[in-house]
Structure formats: structure tokens, C-alpha cells
Structure 1
Amino acid sequence: MTEELASAMAAAARAWLDMLTADQRAIAVGPMPSAEASDAERRRWFYTPTDHGGLTLHQQRPAQQRAAMRLVASGLSRPGFVTVATTMGLENVLDHTEGFVARFDRERGRDPGLYYLRVFGDPAPGGTWGWRFGGHHVSLNNLVVGGAVAATTPCFMGADPASSELLGGAVNRPLGRVEDLARTLVKSLDPRVAVLSPKAPSDFVTANRTTVATGNRVIPLAGIWRDERFPDPAEQAKLQALSDAIDAAAGYTESDHSALEYTAVPKGVAGAAMSPDQREVLRALLDTYFGRVPAAVAPSYDDAALDAVHFAWAGPTEPGAPHYYRVQGPRLLLEWDNTQRNANHAHSVWRDPENDFGLDVLATHRRDHH
């Protein structure tokens, strides 16, 4: 099944690349994936409104954009694609929220056309190649090795605003279940074990690091950008001030960071210690992450694997308060935070600490075939 999916991805990638001019292809194509230093660019990922690397939708004609989105859709389930498309559209809502002002040293700071697509290597049938799509609050990373999908993480989806009004009193919450299921679970667990801190961190503990490692702590917002500084000193000062304000609002001390820092040994409540009802909520929560990708590549956790999955929370548990949670287990790390903009700015990521970007598979492939 993963071979069929890889074939569909490759066909979509070739169709998109065939529509591009030589100048566009120079931006849209990167080096072949490998376990070497030449692959460093593919392993860089972001979720801020920075340059994610690749050809933007703005740089493409409508027919090219359609082909680009067909490739993006090939790596997502229908709900996953709808969520990504909604997140991209929220850039217009965020622009409205902020008063339609220019930001980040560019003509339009909140921009639904500023999403980047890049193919790494040659998407030939049976080959080894990858693709990445990203922009503000979206980061999708896919690797094909030997004609089979080998990795789909890191997989990031966010929403700002996380909750916004619709006509007739309806509410738009693209990641609502990702938040609500976790809150239901934590409220049913012993807070002495499940809640690591009464205060939520300002963002993910592992941030956008290429690899996850023991001791990882929150990186300030200003550090999660492609370039170290904006050319315009005034824009850089604005970003730094925003970053400082977010950290100040979190109010994290050394002991707080220590309580939340990433460790190889999971923190929180293990699935083995949960009741059947709690385990069902945990499974449903996992599905809000695994269900982002096609069924052929979605992980499956049996009862034994679920025993080793741990859930931990930080911050108050009532709706509307800044909060964070982490789900950690074999080949699994999920992080969620909704702390910024008065807890109406959500981030969620699914990672495989052993095989993000397919590094483990690539190393094995290189050993066995070279």
C-alpha cells in the first residue's frame, strides 16, 4: 500500500515539475535525500511565517498552483487536506484581526500565497526522493525510499485564530478535537501525575529542531526563523519585542523549564495505568494526529503499544486558559500548545524521534545498497 501511495506522490510531483519553467525549477528542486550533510536543507523546518524554502504559490500560475496542491493532497487524508487548506485561509482572518498591516519586512505579512513547495531529488518510479510543503502553521515532510513512503514526519498543523466566529453562531475550530480530547483525558486523570506544571510553556518544548534530544527546552519565537535577523532593524525589533512578551507572559523559571524539558523516558500517565474509557480517549486523540495522512501510512498502536504511550499536561485545564500537552511513546512524540493571543493560537506537531525526515531509513538504505 505504501508503494501505491508513493507512486501517486511521484506522479503528482512529476506533473507539477513538468509545468514549471527552468527558473521555477531551480527554486523548486533540491538535492536528493541522503544521510549526509548535503541533505541539511531538507531537514530544516519551520512553523512561523518565515521562508520555508521552495517555490511559493505566489510564484506560480493558477494551473501550476493546482498541480502543486494535488501533490500536497497526495500526502494527506481528506480531513488532513481540509485542515491544511483551512489553515492557509486563516491567514486572511489573521490579517483582519491585526488590522491589515504590513509585517515581517515584507509587503504582506499574513499571506495565504506564501506557502512553499520543494521536491528533493528525482521523483522517478521506484526511486528515493522527498517533498516538503510549508508556510505559517503548516509543515509537511515526506520521504520516499526505494519506491515506498518511508517517513511523513515532522507533521505540523496550527491555527491562528484557533477559534473564530461564523455566521449563525457557529464556530470555526480546525483543531478543536485535537484540543478537546486531550482536555477530556487530563480531567479524568490524577493531576498529581498527569499535570507537570501549573503553567504552560510559551511554545513546543522541542520547537522546530531537526532532531529531538534529551534536555530540549523551549526556543524563543525570535529563534524560529530562517534568517537570524531581518534586514530592517525596526522589523527585527518588533519581532524581538513580540518574542520577549510571549516569554514574559509564560513566566517560566528554571524549575518550570526543568519540569517540562524533553526526556527519553516519558513523563505523565502511561496508557497501562489508564482505565478502558481513558484508553479510548487516548486512542481518539492519537487519531487526530495519525488521521492527517493517508491510511496506508498511518501508524497503528495495538494494546501493548498503547500501554507505553504517556500523556502529560501543563497549565490550567479549564477551556480558554493557556495550556500545553505532550504524548510520548515508542516512535512517537506529539506536542500541542495553545498559549499565545489569549490562548487562541494553536500549534500541534507529530514527530517520530527515531525517524523524522526518514533519517533512520536512509541510513539503513545506504548501508544495504551502497
Structure 2
Amino acid sequence: MGERHQTATEMAEAASGWLDSLTPEQRAVARGAVPDGDEPADAERRRWFYTPTDHGGLTVHEMQAAQQRAAMRLVATGLSLAGYVTVATTMGLENVLDRVEGFVTRFDRERGRDPGLYYLRVFGEPGGDRPWGWRFGGHHVSLNNLVVGGELVATTPCFMGADPASAPLLGGAVARPLARVEDLARDLVRSLTPELATRAVLLDRAPSDFVTANRSVVSDGDQVIPLAGIWRDERFRDDAEQAKLQALSDAIDQAAGLSAEDHRAVAYTTEPRGIPGSELDAGQREVLRSLLATYFDRVPEGVSPLRSYDEAALDAVHFAWAGPTEPGQPHYYRLQGPRLLIEWDNTQRGANHAHSVWRDPEADFGLDVLRRHRAAAH
């Protein structure tokens, strides 16, 4: 049995165990339509978020303790140990963020920063002949997995964030869940020759968020979506809470200070911007490979694409940066190549609020495999 089949088998066992533990009422919320690519019924599976909004599914709050354990067992099947620790830490950071903000944030619900508001949903029948998948998400976490023909075929979009990105621990230690994701990229840009740096740095200021945001499909020319636009509902029921969100969103954009021309300079383009790996020296290429690993190794080793990145593949990965290169300053970077889009930003809350996403622009949510599956079935 191949490693993608083995992982899919483990996922199916865990998903079935979780679903079997639920009441009929819980199961009605926890189940989603069979993944079917282009069908309208599949649109919900392709909706994803990284803000503290309704991600769709059954929340941790709505589960009993044994059900929570079963849910986290399923989540663990889609992650390496390091990936799982990062996700669990991110969930716990909600309590830290609540303290940072003075325990007052609501976002049109009882508690705006809530480690129990992470949502799990299974699409289709785990382990069956038809395609199936699962999604787990909440503030700063979005995991999207698809199984077709008993094989795990898609793990993107894969989003992990941290707020605060850096927080104190006892004895002068610091908690930085995404430290290497940030530091390796900074090491790379600071190692460039002046000529390469001029081409790699797209702008001396960073956008307020990563550029493609939570779009289901990325397209040439995509620009930053303001915070207020990255929620399931267009507006909150509570007008006062909506006004607070809009004011926060406006303040974030104003702090970034990008003009229309600046936004065009960092917009997503299907033709990669920045410098290709082929122009890096041996040491820089190793840093680039290590940086890729901070994204690819979020999933189990057997399904990580890192092993397929030979020298030719590394040549085609482009690296671009925006913002200052000094630590502690708002910044953004992008890695882009064939079937690859990685974005990072740490700009908000005084550059102490980080976002990172790994995508496959051609096949997010396994749409390429689903199209072939549908064609073969007809």
C-alpha cells in the first residue's frame, strides 16, 4: 500500500470513528455533500477562511470530551507531528490573544477569541468508493483534504497563522510557533546580492495581508481583500460590532499605507515575480529548500511533496519579498512555481500577527482529480 493510500486509510478510520460517536443532530451539522468538483453542491467544501468566523461544521464546543478526542485524532491524520503541535498551539493562542485585547472582543458572538470555535466537517462517506474529504478550520487554521480512489490527492489550501506571533514564556524564553517560517525567508532575502535584492523586493512596504486571501480560486491580478471582507456573512447582525470590525479593517489598511500602484506591484500574477531559484548560490538554495519544508512538512512525511523537489524543481521556484528586511518590521513574501503558491505576511498588530498559506493554484481542493474522476465515470 502506498503512503498516500495508507494516510487515506487512517483518515477514513478516524473520520468514521468520529462520525459514529455523534448524535443524529450533531451528524447533520458535521456532514457535507459528496465532493463533486464543478457541481454547485461542492461549493461549500471550497469555502475556506482564516478569520474567527463560521468555518462550517461542528465546533469543538458542540462536542463531548470523547468526541473532541476523536475529532483531534482525525485532524492528526492529516498532519505531521510538528504540524499538529503548531495547530494545537495556534488554537491555544486564542486565550492569549483574548488577554492581549483585554477580554473584550466579541465579533458578533459571545466570545470573539475562543479556542472552542474550531469547526470540523466531513464531506461524503469516509472510505467509500466515491470521493470524500474533510475540513478543519477556525481562527488561523484551515486544513482541506480530499480522498479519491482510496488515495489522499489534495491537502491544499493549507493555512496556519499565529496571533500573537511572538509571546513571552517564563525565564525569558519566547513562544514563536512560526519562527522558522519567518526567519528563513528573512535570512534568504538578506543574503541576496544588491542586484538580486532589487529584483526580489517588489515594494518597500508590505501589504496588510497576504494577497490572494481566502479566494477559492486564485486569478491573475488578485489583490488584498480588506479584513472586513473575509467573513462568512457579509455583515454582522449587531450593527455596533459591524462598525467595530469595519473600523479595525480600515485601520489595518491605513497602517499599511499602500497606494493603488503599490497594490498592483504586489498583486498576484500567474507569471511568477521575484527571482528564480536557478539564480541562487548553493547556500541560498539550501535555505530555500528549508523554507519550502516549513510548508510541505506540515503534512505527514509520506505525502509531503518536498521529496519531489529536485534541483530542476527548485530552479523554478521564485522568491519575492515586500517590506523592510529588518526583524520586527511589517513584511510579506511569496514563493511561486509550477503548481505552487506560498504566501506569508506578518504585518498587523505591530508585526506580531502572522499568516502563512500553501496552495496549488491548479489543483486546490483536488479539483483536477475530481474532473478526471467525473470524466471517467461518464
TM-score above 0.5 = yes
| Partners of 2:140 and 2:260 in 1: CA distance | 28
Q: CA RMSD in A?
A: 0.7
Structure 1 residue 369: Cα displacement:
2.2
**Residue number among 286, 289, 300 corresponding to 1:283 in the alignment:** 289
For 1:331, the equivalent position in structure 2 comes to 339
Amino acid in structure 2 at the alignment position of 1:11: E
**TM-aligned CA deviation for residue 102 of structure 1:** 4.1
Deviations 1:60-100 (A, max 9, x none): 00000000000000000000000000000000000110111
1:150 paired with 2:153, answer yes
Question: Following the alignment from structure 1 to structure 2, what is the Cα–Cα distance between the partners of residues 28 and 103?
Answer: 25
Equivalence for 1:193: 199
Which amino acid counterpart does residue 336 of structure 1 have in structure 2? W
The answer to whether 1:184 aligns with 2:187 is yes
1:10 aligns with 2:18: no
**Which aligned pairs between 1:247-262 and structure 2 lie closer than 5 A?**
247-262=253-268
1:68 aligns with: 71
For 1:135, the equivalent position in structure 2 comes to 138
Q: Does 1:203 align with 2:206?
A: no
1:213 to 208, 219, 228: 219
1:34 match = 36
In 2, Cα distance between equivalents of 1:204 and 1:130: 26
| SS of equivalent residue, structure 2 residue 332 | strand
Structure 1 residue 125: Cα displacement? 4.4
Q: Which residue in 2 is equivalent to 1:308?
A: 316
**Are the aligned partners of 1:126 and 1:148 in contact in 2 as well (CA < 8 Å)?**
no
Letter in 2 for 1:10: A
Look up the match of 2:106. Answer: 103
Q: Distance in 2 between matches of 1:101 and 1:61?
A: 27
- In the alignment, the residues of structure 2 paired with residue 319 and residue 124 of structure 1 have an alpha-carbon distance, to the nearest angstrom, of 47
Paired letter, 2:203: S
Instruction: Give the whole-Å Cα distance in 2 for the aligned partners of 1:311 and 1:180.
Output: 14
CA distance in 2, matches of 1:58, 1:102: 18
Tell me the residue number matched to 2:51: 48
**Structure 1: how far apart are the matches of 2:122 and 2:334?**
31
Helix, strand or coil for the counterpart of 1:313?
A: strand
Determine if contact 1:7/1:125 at 8 Å carries over to the other structure: no
Amino acid at match of 2:56: G
Q: Partner amino acid for 2:322?
A: A
**Residue 238 of structure 2 is aligned to residue 236 of structure 1:** no
For residue 328 of structure 2, what is the amino acid of its counterpart? G
Q: Is 156-165 or 119-128 further displaced after alignment?
A: 119-128
Preserved CA contact (<8 Å) 1:43 1:210: yes
Residue identity over aligned pairs, in percent, reads: 73
Within 2, Cα distance between the matches of 1:301 and 1:127? 31
State how far apart, in whole Å, the 1-side matches of 2:122 and 2:365 are: 13
Distance apart, 1:37 and its partner CA:
1.3
- SS for the counterpart of 1:265 is coil
Match of 2:82 in 1: 79
The residue identity in structure 2 corresponding to 1:99 is G
Q: Secondary structure of the equivalent of 1:16? A: helix
How far is 1:124 from its partner? 2.3
Give the equivalent residue in structure 2 for 1:223.
229
CA distance in 2 between partners of 1:100 and 1:249 (Å): 24
Q: Which amino acid aligns with 1:304?
A: A
The aligned residue for residue 326 of structure 2 is: 318
CA-CA distance at 1:149 after TM superposition: 0.3
> How far is the alpha carbon of 1:127 from its aligned partner?
3.9
Q: How many residues align structurally?
A: 370
Q: 2:279 is matched with which residue: 251, 256, 273?
A: 273
The whole-number CA distance in structure 2 between the counterparts of 1:28 and 1:226 is 17
SS of residue in 2 equivalent to 1:161: coil
Stretch of structure 1 that moved more, 80-89 or 120-129? 120-129
